[in-house]
Every structure is written in structure tokens, then in C-alpha cells.
């Protein structure tokens, strides 16, 4: 009896680790609005997401950002590490963000000033603090 091996080409499963990025343009920061049927519905979020098994933090941040926004990011620097989460600032980026109605995982996107971030209520306090810190540099 011969051994038969079947290779399954399904995507690798997500891990519990996440990588998020802070993308700035002048004195503004990019945020994405989560869909109403997602966890944390209708909250502003950072680009990024779950790593897949075998992926590095930075590779996951780059891949997730491209998937969610259509932006290619590079020159990432670690801003904060918190348990299974990593947050990076983006040194450079290129491309054009998907139009709001074409975003694959979010309902909208917006560039926020520091003042707008300070007034924002539908965002995680942790993300808001870090975002204000990034725009204050």
C-alpha cells in the first residue's frame, strides 16, 4: 500500500499576535473605521492585524497594511510592545489608499490631526494615546 500525501493550499491560520502601524502624512495620522459587524464595531482603528503562522511581526504589519489600505509601508520602527501586540511607526509609504467604498475590511478611512484625535471618542484609549504621541513628535 502506497502512502499518499495531499498538500492543502489553504491560507495559514492566524495567530493571536497582532501588528499595527501608525502612518503619518505631515501632521495627520491615518485611521480606518471598523465595520459594524466586526469586533469593536464602528471604532477607528490602526492599519494592521493578525500575523499568520511563521510570519515575522514586521512582515505581518506590512502585509496587513497592504491588504487593508493598498499602501506599501517600509522603514518600520517599534513604538510599543504589549503582550501579543506590536505597534510600529512607518518611516515611508507609497501608493493610493483604496476608495472608501472599495476597502476590503473597513467602512471608511480618514487622516486625523492631533486636535481631531483628542476629540475622538470612538477609538481605543490606548490607540488614541499612542496616536497623539506619534503626532506630537
Domain boundaries, given as residue ranges, for the chain: 14-136
pTM score, two decimals?
0.87
Mean of pLDDT values over 120-132: 94
Mean of pLDDT values over 86-91: 97
Q: Do residues 90 and 50 make contact, with C-beta atoms less than 8 angstroms apart?
A: no
Give the model's confidence band at 13: pLDDT under 50 very low, under 70 low, under 90 confident, else very high. low
* Mean of per-residue pLDDT scores for the chain: 90
Q: Do residues 128 and 120 make contact, with C-beta atoms less than 8 angstroms apart?
A: yes
Position 112 scores a pLDDT of 98
Give the model's confidence band at 128: pLDDT under 50 very low, under 70 low, under 90 confident, else very high. very high
Condensed to tens digits (0 to 9), the pLDDT of residues 26-80 reads 999 999 999 887 766 789 999 999 999 889 999 999 999 999 999 999 999 999 9
Q: 14-136: which CATH architecture?
A: Alpha-Beta Complex (3.90)
Reply yes or no on whether the pLDDT at 9 is more than 80. Answer: no
DSSP per-residue letters across 52-101: ETT--HHHHHHHHHHHHHS-EEEEEEEEEEETTEEEEEEEEEES-PPPGG
**Beta partners for residue 80, in sequence order:** 87
Amino acid at each position: 500500500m502506497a502512502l499518499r500525501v495531499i498538500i492543502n493550499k489553504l491560507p495559514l491560520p492566524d495567530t493571536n499576535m497582532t501588528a499595527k502601524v501608525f502612518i503619518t502624512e505631515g501632521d495627520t495620522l491615518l485611521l480606518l473605521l471598523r465595520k459594524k459587524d466586526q469586533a469593536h464595531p464602528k471604532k477607528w482603528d490602526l492599519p494592521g492585524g493578525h500575523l499568520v503562522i511563521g510570519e515575522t511581526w514586521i512582515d505581518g504589519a506590512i502585509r496587513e497594511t497592504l491588504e487593508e489600505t493598498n499602501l506599501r509601508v517600509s522603514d518600520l520602527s517599534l513604538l510599543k510592545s504589549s503582550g501579543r501586540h506590536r505597534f510600529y511607526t512607518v518611516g515611508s509609504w507609497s501608493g493610493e489608499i483604496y476608495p472608501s467604498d472599495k476597502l476590503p475590511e473597513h467602512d471608511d478611512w480618514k487622516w486625523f490631526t492631533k486636535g481631531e484625535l483628542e476629540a475622538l471618542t470612538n477609538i481605543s484609549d490606548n490607540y488614541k494615546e499612542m496616536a497623539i504621541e506619534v503626532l506630537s513628535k
